[in-house]
Chains A and B, each alone.
Chain A
Amino acid sequence: MTNIEKLNAAFVEALDLDPNESIRDSYSYGDPKWDSVAHMALVVSIEAQFDIMMETDDVIDLSSFGKGKEILAKYGINF
């Protein structure tokens, strides 16, 4: 799987999104299905997909799909 596919998969699994639709960068916290409880599941899912442990500040900053890509770059994961 490419990194973008992995990130997509993490979102689909954690937020129960349609697996056939690719997620737009603008998809954000507060949009349908991405609430505070789902946020924790999303973080866990991203960490498991990329085998990393994120800083608490990054967990807080993870506010959109696009921001997720930016944050992951810090961990050497590029898109």
Chain B
Amino acid sequence: MESIFNLQGKVGIVTGATRGIGWSIAQALASKGMNLILNSISNQELLNERINELKENFKIEADGFLFDVSEPNSVKECYNQIFKKYKRLDVLVNNAGIMKDALIPMISSEMIDRILDVNVKGVIYNLQYASRLMGRNKSGSIINVASIIGRVGNEGQVVYSASKSAVIGLTYSAAKELASQNIRVNAIAPGFIETDMIKDVPPDKFNKISENIKMKRLGTPDDIAKSVLYLASDLSNYVTGQVLGVDGGMLV
């Protein structure tokens, strides 16, 4: 079983990889020997630190690119660099995402644009370039980080839920389109995970959501990273077009 988990010599990219869920995913993949490209948007220093940490702790090759996933030219440049250096890509984790809440009357058009740009267009741009690199070896795994909110919705999250439902829909379509090239496309739908993203949730809402978690604890970024490891590795080599809920039983 250990060899099935082995990602030695493979190459992966994780978007939004410096904090929260993305950083745990990066560490999990690196711990199995995968060479990694990390992306984030705002803090070059932190990105450099993360790269060095991975190289030191796991003796892998790691590179970082600071860019906005919703900028097609920056995405293209990143994949050009991956192509030049590695000539291959095995795993894409579309993790970068933003969440902003607003009740229906308060939704601005700027907010709609920004959330859809990052959470949807960013995922599609990465998927486009990644699948072309993966197609060369006729193998690859694309993992899109959606959300439980994209499955069941939530008050105040019309825009965010629309973006995450879109991620689920595009996962199904891409899985159909890319299966013949042996490229698998799956989504993970995290529940309520302890990261910076949820630190501003008001206490009453926080308590209400927490009560719905049947396993009686918040999720950790590590909980998500373990599922990504499964979908990235050959353990899941016949799994595509699935949405894996990792939510401590919020929907049961």
Contacts and interface: CB of A to CB of B under 8 A. Distances in A.
Contacts of B135: 40-41, 43-44
B19 interface: no
Interface residues of A, number: 11
A48 interface: yes
A55 B76 contact: yes
B80 A44 contact: no
Contacts of B128: 56
Contact of A56 (B76, B131, B133, B178): B76
Size category of the B interface is 10 to 19
B76 A37 contact: no
Interface in B111-150: 128-129, 131-133, 135-136
B181 A53 contact: no
Contact of A53 (B83, B131, B177): B83
Interface in A23-50: 37, 40-41, 43-44, 47-48
Contacts of A55: 76
Scoring A40, A41, A43, A51 by chain B CB atoms within 10 A of each residue's CB, the highest score goes to A40
Given A53-B79, A55-B76, A37 B180 contact: yes
B142 to A, nearest CB: 14
B132 A53 contact: yes
Nearest to B128: A56
Contacts of A47: 132, 136
A53 B80 contact: yes
Interface in B58-86: 72, 76, 79-80, 83
Interface string B161-182: 0000000000000000110110
A40 B136 contact: no
A43 B136 CA distance: 10
Contacts of B129: 53
Contacts of A40: 131-132, 135, 177-178, 181
A56 B75 CA distance: 11
Interface string B8-26: 0000000000000000000
Contacts of B180: 37, 41
Contacts of B133: 53
A36 to B, nearest CB: 9
B76 A44 contact: no
B90 to A, nearest CB: 15
Interface of B: 72, 76, 79-80, 83, 87, 128-129, 131-133, 135-136, 177-178, 180-181
17 contacts: A40-B131, A40-B132, A40-B135, A40-B177, A40-B178, A43-B132, A43-B135, A44-B135, A44-B136, A44-B181, A47-B132, A53-B83, A53-B132, A53-B133, A55-B76, A56-B72, A56-B128
Query: Lowest 6 CB-CB distances: which A-B pairs, in order?
Result: A44-B135, A53-B83, A48-B136, A53-B80, A44-B136, A44-B132
